Chains A and B, each alone.
Chain A
């Protein structure tokens, strides 16, 4: 791995709604691809993503293997104001976890 893994999240207030953009750093191996030595790469993919605004849970995303590498999501939250805290947590099929936070700008 060249660059260190980093999950990115941005939240911006745009015409009264909050736009959240998320870019997670994850290889999302399906379990069907092979490496250079023709060995199967074991499955490793994000299964569950949850998103909170302040303390309110707003969105749950369940992913299968067909979610692209370094998953990207973008969605809107109704209303909101500057300074809201957007939190996102993910879990993959091997139990690895990640967390990303952003403050609405």
Chain B
């Protein structure tokens, strides 16, 4: 092969590689992650309303508001200066907790995280989430096949969902 054709070959190869990487990046965004990670509940995480997210994650079930949950968002509670990292803490006296879901109602994709617990795990659980604007934050616990829900309204000074 001459130098010239070799050069062309390279250019074509390079083009093909960057095109495929671009395609990968596009697919790995929120467009088509299903192909990459089957175990990640795409439907739930890409749902745009709280109801859709819950339906995809937990199926239809009756949700009871419950005082057994102690849910704190923000620091001091119900307030956050920076929405990019808002501390949350969830505590409960419930037994046999199977799953916890944290949702932020006004985020582009409400479902923030979903935790699957074994009996070895005890609450409280703490973490940090992003909140775009003043919004109710919802915690849902499934324990013994029942769903318990609690909501806190949080004020955010600087939105953090960029």
Contact indicator B25/A42 (Cβ below 8 Å): yes
Give chain A nearest CB distance to B98 CB in angstroms: 11
Contact A60 to B121, CB < 8 A, known contacts A43-B30, A67-B130, A93-B33 = no
Q: How many residues of A contact B (CB 8 A)?
A: 38
The answer to whether B29 has its CB under 8 Å from any CB of chain A is yes
Give chain A nearest CB distance to B105 CB in angstroms: 11
Q: Which of B8-16, B38-46, B65-73, B149-157 contacts A (4 or more CB under 8 A)?
A: B38-46
Contact indicator A74/B116 (Cβ below 8 Å): no
* B120 proximity list for chain A (CB < 8 A): 53, 56, 58, 77-79
Closest to A76 in B: B122
Give chain B nearest CB distance to A47 CB in angstroms: 5
Among B108, B109, B118, the most chain A Cβ lie within 10 Å of the Cβ of B118
* B111 proximity list for chain A (CB < 8 A): 64, 66
The answer to whether B36 has its CB under 8 Å from any CB of chain A is yes
Bin chain B's interface residue count: 35 or more
Give chain B nearest CB distance to A64 CB in angstroms: 4
* B122 proximity list for chain A (CB < 8 A): 17, 75-78
Contact indicator B116/A73 (Cβ below 8 Å): no
* B85 proximity list for chain A (CB < 8 A): 68-69
Q: Which of B84-107 contact A (CB under 8 A)?
A: 84-86, 104, 107
Among B28, B119, B131, the most chain A Cβ lie within 10 Å of the Cβ of B28
* A83 proximity list for chain B (CB < 8 A): none
Contact indicator A61/B45 (Cβ below 8 Å): no
Instruction: Determine which of A57, A66, A76, A77 lies in contact with B161 in the assembled complex, contact meaning CB atoms within 8 Å.
Output: A66
Q: Which of A34-75 contact B (CB under 8 A)?
A: 34, 42-43, 47-48, 53, 56-69, 71-75
CA A77 to CA B123, docked complex, whole Å: 8
Contact indicator B125/A74 (Cβ below 8 Å): yes
Contact indicator A68/B29 (Cβ below 8 Å): no
Contact indicator B113/A43 (Cβ below 8 Å): no
* A1 proximity list for chain B (CB < 8 A): none
Chain A contacts to B: CB under 8 angstroms: 17, 30-34, 42-43, 47-48, 53, 56-69, 71-79, 91, 93-95
